[in-house]
Structure 1
């Protein structure tokens, strides 16, 4: 039996084991071919409430496990991602439309997330505070209890595991709700890995479903923290619901990220970076380069070089061919991308490359002569589209880069001195100098500002401990204190 053998999970959810749900089933469909790959179970609201209650019970014993025990489970999970990499990568290719390199990156990162999380149980969990009284005074970090993780379709494994692994390592239980379109690579795979790694029953629950299930994993009484990754529009709703129920919500949301090409930058290297930033995984990444600001001295040559790359990047089924771009996730996403491109061209932009599609395969697209009030510049596209705008001075580039509501990732190419000035002036959770906008590491803080989210809540010990623990004040006296009453 393989790790993801369909007999294990077909038509089921994971609630203390693989069981039949009360919410029905949903087909798993390949965006590349339209073929049905399997069937997952769909949870009902009642299933979510049962899962939350059981998770709260199981969490108590899990939190009492020694740091060594919890760390061992996380290390075994990391090893299992590597052992079963080929099988999991194939599911990412077929279910998420990933090219082989992107699928391999997801599994590699999942292993690293578990290895990084394995260090959290033995990380210092508090500090000694000075006190004016005759007592010891401590601030200590305690598990929050039950954490709900809601993850999207684009990097379903990474964007689930980066919350699931540290939350578990720190002694919490987890309710995992993946995107329904990637419920295997973003849900089943995680449960199977942790099942094989020896995680006790009940500590990780898988509840597939739609909006009703998403609302239930936020509002369930036992849930104390919600970790959400997705669109800004959906994130606002999650944040509102969490606030109503007094839940702490960590929101990693959309981005409309700028790549600034400064005067004197190497044109060939800049165009390569720009192409990767805009076209990697069909532009379906929150960190995608959504805006190219290019100095006027380089603008025309940059557009030509970027368009040349777009013309020659192969697009097709990543399971059957060596391609650079696979399909968009579904017809709704494709229609939105195409509408933004054609609305922008109708508003005066020039189509330098692309702008066409077959089935769900959208060709890499370059738009020149773009203005800041056009859709392709002002909105997050989430497709393989590179809008390019010229600037005359660094001050102008800063002003234009700041001119959207998002603040996730910023790339600056060229002179480091000028780039440092830009980095200090443009609000962004992430800044890369002489790199494009798409990058992530398990030990690095990750998150955006403004409409891109509530700050760095993922990656690195400090961010993870802050995200998935509560701070408790604890005092100790040698004997009972005396009081004037």
Structure 2
């Protein structure tokens, strides 16, 4: 039964220093400090799981999942609807954790909470979906295919959009009757893990069906290798994804890999320049560029390129950078020093190779100024690598063939934007560029609970999350069943 929400859903006395297995328990792996990247302040302490904790969680999940899968579909749907309501009712409290823990500006935190509620409402509808279909048979029998829960699903989520990139796997997996073991990133365990545990706990989810196991690579490995876990949903870097995919394959696990990106925005010569520049800036600078779908390469027609660069510079120079918890800013901090230094090295190496630093290229503490680089060529690091920072590299083209070749010149294939007044020309161009997502007359960052999300190449293994059809494919198994009125004659 769902209960009334706690007066303070995120009360630290409930969860501090603990992990969640249906209740809040002291782990055997120790603790993590929760650090605010904007200030360096200590916000609290979260529990650190050990591999032994993971194994115990997996064993408990097997038993909890059996009962959850047997529960009437309307009861599962009710829990998910209640969770959706809680994201809305408790938004103010959870929002502050997203801002302070991940360095998000307030509108980005609002967006995460909106999507979290949407994911739960959409997942509630999944619980009522038809779960099979009749098939023809050459024999006198009823033949059908039905979808059954996979069992125990492991979800490994990153730091950059911690709530969305956890809930988009957790909610549909629960809807189909699975149990879920969630490993949030240690840097955003509260907004990407604790918040989910508290919401589903208050929503009435039975104990053991969702468990939250913060930790590092050793916990990810334990999750993948646990025999009880049948499906892994991983979102993170391509480098880490390769390791996850390799380990999962050795253990015959189904794995969904949502990885990095180096997404291109192609700007043709027939566009409204002011709108194009605004879209391009948003795509590169949103959440400090720490988005897998970020606009990482601006491929601009030669007749517009100088004015386009000037437009980006004008926007970048008016974007305030600072602490989003205490100031009205456009950009918050980079998540940590390691990521900041990676961004800066990519920028400085490219400038040394001949790129023109039009603006930015500086930082103070973890605050990196929005940066625009002109005269970029495909041989430069900012063109060929996923930057994951507030950097807009601009390269020019003269023909559609050249634009297509430049956009294809990457191992990634996550998102693509094409800006043009000629929509059919945009469609034809898109067909020439491998990409899991294409937006014509928009920048590269967009996602909704009802759409298939996924990339190709180094951006993922073609798996899709989102929407009824693709979530069912991700989190259920297909079983073929035949039925005869009497035993088939073999004598």
Partners of 2:91 and 2:346 in 1: CA distance: 37
State the partner residue of 1:396. 402
Q: 2:15 maps to what in 1?
A: 9
- What corresponds to 1:321 in structure 2? 327
Query: Matched residue of 1:101: which SS?
Result: helix
Residue equivalent to 1:259? 265
Matched, 1:454 2:485: no
Separation in structure 2 between the aligned mates of residue 373 and residue 54 of structure 1, nearest angstrom: 51
Aligned position for 1:128 = 134
Per the alignment, residue 476 of structure 2 pairs with: 469
Partner of 1:215: 221
**What's 1:172 paired with?**
178
Displacement over 6 Å in runs of 4+:
none
> Contact conserved, 1:100 with 1:318, CA < 8 A, in 2?
yes
CA-CA distance at 1:132 after TM superposition:
1.2
Secondary structure of 2:431 counterpart: helix
Which of 8, 23, 29 lines up with 2:29 in the alignment?
23
User: Match for residue 48 of structure 1?
Assistant: 54
Shift of the alpha carbon at 1:16?
Answer: 2.8
Q: What runs of 5+ residues in structure 2 fail to find an aligned partner?
A: 1-6
- Distance in 2 (CA, whole Å) between partners of 1:161 and 1:288 is 20
After TM superposition, the structure 1 = structure 2 runs for residues 188-203 of structure 1, keeping only pairs within 5 Å, are 188-203=194-209
Taking the aligned partners of 2:141 and 2:48, their CA distance within structure 1 comes to 53
The residue that corresponds to 1:479 in the other structure is 486
Structure 2 match to 1:407: 413
| 2:4 aligned residue | none
Among residues 116, 127, 151, which one is paired with 1:110 in the alignment?
116
> 1:175-186 alignment to 2 at 5 Å?
175-186=181-192
The answer (yes or no) to whether the contact 1:263–1:295 under 8 Å persists in 2 is: yes
* Cα distance in 2 for residues equivalent to 1:108 and 1:16: 25
Aligned equivalents of 1:395, 1:265: Cα separation in 2: 18
* Aligned partner of residue 306 in structure 1, secondary structure: helix
Q: Name 2:424's counterpart in structure 1.
A: 417
User: Corresponding residue for 2:446?
Assistant: 439
Instruction: Give CA deviations for 1:56-110 in whole Å, capped at 9, x if unaligned.
Output: 1100000001111100000000000000001111000000000000000000100
CA displacement at 1:480 relative to structure 2:
1.4
Q: Does 1:278 align with 2:284?
A: yes
Aligned to 1:75: 81
User: How far apart are 1:456 and its partner, in Å?
Assistant: 4.2
Matches within 5 A, 1:372-387: 372-387=378-393
CA–CA distance in 2 between the matches of 1:296 and 1:271? Answer: 15
Does residue 430 in structure 1 map to residue 437 in structure 2? Answer: yes
Corresponding residue pairs, total: 484
Kindly indicate whether the alpha-carbon contact (under 8 Å) linking 1:296 and 1:390 is maintained by their aligned counterparts in 2: yes
Task: Name the SS for the 1:153 alignment partner.
Answer: coil
Partner Cα separation in structure 1 for residue 230 and residue 43 of structure 2: 35
Pairing 1:343–2:349 present: yes
**Aligned partners of 1:366 and 1:416: how far apart in 2?**
28
Report if aligned partners of 1:429, 1:456 keep a CA contact under 8 Å in 2.
Answer: no
* Partner Cα distance (1:132, 1:401) in 2: 49
- Write the deviation string for residues 246-305 of structure 1: whole angstroms up to 9, x where unpaired: 000000000000000001111100000000000000000000000000000100000000
**What is aligned with 1:355?**
361
Partner secondary structure for residue 291 of structure 1:
strand
How far the C-alpha of 1:417 sits from its partner, in A, is: 2.4
Deviation of 1:379 after TM superposition, in Å, equals 0.2
* Alpha-carbon distance, 1:331 to partner: 0.3
Question: TM-score, normalization: structure 1?
Answer: 0.99
Task: Name the CA shift for 1:195/1:25 in 2 (closer, same or farther; >3 Å).
Answer: same
TM-superposition CA deviations, 1:150-201 (whole Å, max 9, x none): 0000000000000000000000000000000000000000000000000000
SS in structure 2 at match of 1:221:
coil
Structure-2 separation of matches of 1:187 and 1:276: 28
Which of 153, 169, 176 is the matching residue for 1:163?
169
1:89-100 correspondence to structure 2 within 5 Å: 89-100=95-106
Instruction: Give the whole-Å Cα distance in 2 for the aligned partners of 1:245 and 1:454.
Output: 17
